[in-house]
A and B are shown apart, each in its own frame.
Chain A
Amino acid sequence: AQTVTQSQPEMSVQEAETVTLSCTYDTSESDYYLFWYKQPPSRQMILVIRQEAYKQQNATENRFSVNFQKAAKSFSLKISDSQLGDAAMYFCAYRRATSGTYKYIFGTGTRLKVLA
């Protein structure tokens, strides 16, 4: 069974600095999708970034980028120029790419604090 592990329950970063959140996953599949979701205090889940496993190029979305290491099964999220609004829970998620497969598996989350 696939699993997703986030080993950092909590992280802190100074405003304007860079922080990296870790995520590892376990799968025997070769094709899959990976996601980072943000959950601010409102508890509304927001997609931050996604990565297709068949793509070697790391995904980027403005200040957010990933370091996808397929062989190591690692999918870390880098937040540059951190802002107060980045404070939230961050969840890593996995989904197989096989047609007809619908399950999304989430990690336990990392709480990010941004210090002014």
Chain B
Amino acid sequence: DGGITQSPKYLFRKEGQNVTLSCEQNLNHDAMYWYRQDPGQGLRLIYYSQIVNDFQKGDIAEGYSVSREKKESFPLTVTSAQKNPTAFYLCASSPGTGREKLFFGSGTQLSVL
């Protein structure tokens, strides 16, 4: 079945530690996205990528980094510079053109120890 796989489902970060959230899609989609979800704040865009080896900052990119070396993969690193990383992180993809919807992964809950 085609879809988006996020791992791990739960992740814990220690102070000063970088952690990486995985996102893989087998939908052959060009565009991929990372959103952060906090209670009462909806989904906020962290980074997005329209094509391999290219990505753009979203509204809250500080303290995060991404790479897009392969079409199917878009990992997100939460760096130690992100002082409030506890949130639910959603990865999404879309074909990149037209009226199509976003396809979402099942999310990763990141908490600070």
Contact = CB atoms under 8 A, between A and B. Distances in A.
Co-assembled chains A and B: yes
Interface of A: 6, 9, 33, 35, 37, 42-45, 47, 50, 52, 91, 93, 97, 99-100, 102-109
B74 interface: no
Q: Which secondary structure dominates where chain B touches chain A?
A: strand
B63 interface: no
Interface residues of B, number: 24
Interface of B: 31, 33, 35, 40-45, 48, 50, 58, 88, 90, 92, 94, 96-97, 99, 101-102, 104, 106-107
Contact of A43 (B41, B42, B106): B106
Given A45-B90, A108-B40, A108-B42, A33 B96 contact: no
B107 A52 contact: no
A47 to B, nearest CB: 5
A34 B41 CA distance: 19
Nearest to B43: A106
Contact of A109 (B31, B33, B42): B42
Count chain B CB atoms within 10 A of each CB in A33, A100, A103 and give the residue with the most. Answer: A103
B40 A9 contact: yes
Contact of B99 (A50, A106, A108): A50
A91 B43 contact: yes
Nearest to B41: A108
A102 B96 contact: yes
A102 B99 contact: no
B31 A91 contact: no
B43 A102 contact: no
